[in-house]
Structure 1
């Protein structure tokens, strides 16, 4: 299958084939700048995504869009209000559809939404501050793939909160409770992610403004492991675990063009540096089906796919590159359809066949 991405060094255009049913790229233009975005993971909801607005007031939106594969274009399924911009959107990690069709968003709070064909209803709004109706803004969160009743959220107040979900007596209603809350960093926490290592339920890592990557175990929260510290103590903005080999994770620092890959067995020393971006990196996502491939995206309008198999030899250049028409602020690799990557820039959502 041809890819929409160019092989690096190959100037020939390989975008599309003319047949709308076989296109290698599909676009959706939202009515506002897009930031939050993610794929549904359910096999019976192919090419369903959620996108969130970035509007600097209290009137943000989230839209659910679905690709009509016969017409070759996205169809807007529903729109709902979301006061502040979504810092992250995720669908419940349930590929077979045996659980309620839920979506979570972070911003001022962690919210869970129940999605039906033409309607979205807020199930619950989770506040980790017992003493106030307000909580510190959430920078990100992650939904535990091994146990979908666990979510972890990161906040600017230096904490990570691990939430448990439960279904109430009213069938289908979902509520949440704080399983644990911990001070994770010395400054703001920017991202949190569970790893599949050790059974995949209890281990997670976080990154923050103190420039460190820290790993935690829910079974023993008195101790954490510092996996890496930025030499200049620059804030680390995102982290992403390798989906197939949990020994590896990737992160990047603020306003930096470099993505570093870490091996948890050899803390503190990056095992690879991915350096081909010409402006700040904004997003990273590992292939769901391969331990050797990762996609990075940034302000240089580029989405780059790398093969890290040569590690610990230097990774000089990416294997594939895509040039967008704007600064890419979000990138996600579809877990249920690993031939497809999604990116966001300006008011555009694009999905690319790789």
Structure 2
């Protein structure tokens, strides 16, 4: 059988037998690894799906070339909730990260944008913060596994930036856009991916050129 190319996957931390994958064919697929079967496949977006992230055990979010962040609950597969749409409908959203320490918050990035958009899923449409100190496109974002207000972003400017969201980000009248990073690392080349170790939260991994580097926070 022909399978459309996959763009990303995420392992369900609450139920390790489950993974979710996203694909260019507009679908997200949930796999049961113990039984080696597809549990469910959903038409998630109107265009290619670029990333997927689990929140609670049966809840995941995805982003797409259609410019939306959508949340799905496996208890109600017929419906989804749109929590954000790009200001320009033609601007794809490439990556997202769900804050495992505070499930109210999701971060996402737009194609060719230097911003990290932080969303509160209780207040759809309006970001609670826009982190915009990168000097080129952001490629990856990861929440700290041990601190609910810390997040790391990495981009084409070769920088990995760690941010601490102010408490005011909980319910600002307008998006916070004057936040400065608390730590900065220069890799010397475009950084393509970043991961924050949940087992060793003092360590962050970044990927650039033909290298993977480990950084101690």
TM exceeding 0.5: yes
SS across alignment from 1:338: coil
Residue number in structure 1 paired with 2:203 = 340
- Structure number, greater radius of gyration: 1
SS across alignment from 1:294: strand
- Aligned length in residues: 210
Residue number in structure 2 paired with 1:157 = 25
Residue number in structure 2 paired with 1:305 = 162
Unaligned runs of 5+ in 1: 1-131, 167-174
Distance 1:232 1:214 in 2: 17
Q: Is 1:179 aligned to 2:39, yes or no?
A: yes
Distance 2:148 2:88 in 1: 29
Q: Is 1:267 aligned to 2:143, yes or no?
A: no
TM norm structure 1: 0.58
Distance 2:190 2:207 in 1: 8
Q: Is 1:135 aligned to 2:21, yes or no?
A: no
Residue number in structure 2 paired with 1:74 = none
Structural RMSD (CA): 1.0
Residue number in structure 2 paired with 1:216 = 72
> Which of 149, 170, 175 is matched with 1:292 structurally?
149
The answer (yes or no) to whether the contact 2:58–2:75 under 8 Å persists in 1 is: yes
**1:223-238 alignment runs, 5 A limit:** 223-233=79-89, 234-238=91-95
Distance 1:329 1:165 in 2: 28
Deviations 1:162-212 (A, max 9, x none): 11122xxxxxxxx510111110000000001110xxxx2111000000000
**1:8-47 alignment runs, 5 A limit:** none
> Which of 192, 203, 218 is matched with 2:52 structurally?
192
Unaligned runs of 5+ in 2: none
Deviations 1:130-179 (A, max 9, x none): xx2x200000011100011111100000000111122xxxxxxxx51011
Q: CA deviation at 1:273?
A: 0.3
SS across alignment from 1:220: coil
The answer (yes or no) to whether the contact 1:308–1:315 under 8 Å persists in 2 is: no
